[in-house]
Structure 1
Amino acid sequence: MATISPSPDLFTLVNVFGVAPEKQRELRDHLVQVTEDLIRHMPGFVSATFHLSRDGEQVVNYAQWRSEADFRAMHADPRLQPHFDYCRSVSRPKPIFCEVTHSFGATSPEGA
């Protein structure tokens, strides 16, 4: 299970992919498969979660890496270039590099 950690030692990415509704699940499935097969096994990977907007027009990826250098090394890996090309062909990726400042959990089981 992914955790949203406010640790200043982690590099956090929120990537919002604008996509046609008929491509939303296809893109999500692609992102999940590439993460399962390659990305999660790379040095420095911490976690990734994927979200579908209810209007069908976005796929949102929340990811954390041990460091920006680890993230940049993943992004430069030639095995992933076809993945990035595909994402750009079916969507409009908007990566946002973030600092997590606060994270809250439920205070009771009913809230979870």
Structure 2
Amino acid sequence: MTRRTDSHPDLSDARVGAPFFSTWRVGTPLRQRQAVEAVAVAWERRPWPADDLLGYHLYTGHDASTLLHYSQWASEQAYEAFVRTRHQERVDEIDTAVPGIERLGPGRYRHYRSRGPAHRGEPGGRVPGCVVIVDIEFEGPDPDRQRAWVDAVLEALENEPAPHPGGIAAHFHLSTDGTRVLNYAEWDSAQSHIEALAAPGDGIGSATAFWQRVQTWPGLKSTTVSRYDHALGLVPGR
């Protein structure tokens, strides 16, 4: 059984051995809504595909054109088995409902480190009003560089003299090919993130030596920042 949930996922769940991120370009706000509903229908009318899939979440981009997909798998082997046996029928049904989707991904990642609340259900925890995806690309594969850069970002955050109160948590993921870092950042609202970007400094950090080190890291090729709203959560039924 598959059921919907309004709850945001726990990005630091230790059971998630293979998180996958992918993006669809659908073109318009109407097609965003139609694609989200098509995914919901295609999944809800079928049994939950595997015990090793912990959750599947969709997000609508503030660019009014894209969808972000985040799936929490226990292992890549479980994901590959799903692709071989139960994936295509869902794709076909969604494409019939919303033709012309451009699919980018999926990107294969591993969760590395998080900063913020450890568990979604802890007392006083804030529910994110906006998810910000920061996609970092480096010049060529280097797993040591990936980890060192994330460590430097977290050091800069720890030493930030004027942190914006709207930031909730940051969850850093390393691509398995060694070339990218993806930060899934949770904010209380899109406006808070916009205000943080507009503050003095380059990006959300103040003009400190810690942030300068992050921003001028050797081999850093590009940084892309995108804002999303959580639109659909799918989890196994109980």
In the superposition, the TM-score normalised over structure 2's length comes to 0.40
Rate the CA distance shift 1:13–1:71 in 2: closer, same or farther, 3 A.
same
Aligned match of 2:111: 100
Which piece of structure 1 moves more, 80-89 or 15-24? 80-89
Cα deviation 1:49-90 (Å, max 9, x = unaligned): 11000222111111111111111111111x432322344943
Rate the CA distance shift 1:7–1:110 in 2: closer, same or farther, 3 A.
closer
Unmatched runs of 5 consecutive residues or more in structure 1: none
Higher percent of residues as helix: 1
Check whether the contact 2:43–2:90 (CA below 8 A) recurs between aligned residues. no
Unmatched runs of 5 consecutive residues or more in structure 2: 1-6, 128-238
Rate the CA distance shift 1:37–1:45 in 2: closer, same or farther, 3 A.
farther
Q: What is the CA–CA distance in structure 2 between the aligned matches of 1:62 and 1:9, rounded to whole Å?
A: 12
Which protein, 1 or 2, shows the higher relative CO under an 8 Å CA cutoff with sep ≥ 6? 1
Check whether the contact 1:65–1:71 (CA below 8 A) recurs between aligned residues. yes
Q: What is the CA–CA distance in structure 2 between the aligned matches of 1:110 and 1:73, rounded to whole Å?
A: 36
Aligned match of 2:74: 66
Where do residues 1-112 of structure 1 align in structure 2 (5 Å cutoff)? 1=7, 2-5=9-12, 7=14, 10-21=17-28, 22-38=30-46, 40-77=48-85, 79-85=86-92, 86-87=94-95, 89-94=99-104, 95-106=106-117, 109=124, 111-112=126-127
Count of residue correspondences: 111
Rate the CA distance shift 1:89–1:75 in 2: closer, same or farther, 3 A.
farther
Rate the CA distance shift 1:11–1:37 in 2: closer, same or farther, 3 A.
farther
Task: Report the Cα offset of residue 93 of structure 1.
Answer: 1.2
Check whether the contact 2:16–2:73 (CA below 8 A) recurs between aligned residues. no
Q: Which structure is larger by alpha-carbon Rg, 1 or 2?
A: 2
In the superposition, the TM-score normalised over structure 1's length comes to 0.77
Cα deviation 1:90-110 (Å, max 9, x = unaligned): 311111111111233349837
Check whether the contact 1:17–1:59 (CA below 8 A) recurs between aligned residues. yes
Which piece of structure 1 moves more, 21-30 or 82-91? 82-91
- Three-state SS of the structure 2 residue aligned to 1:109 is coil
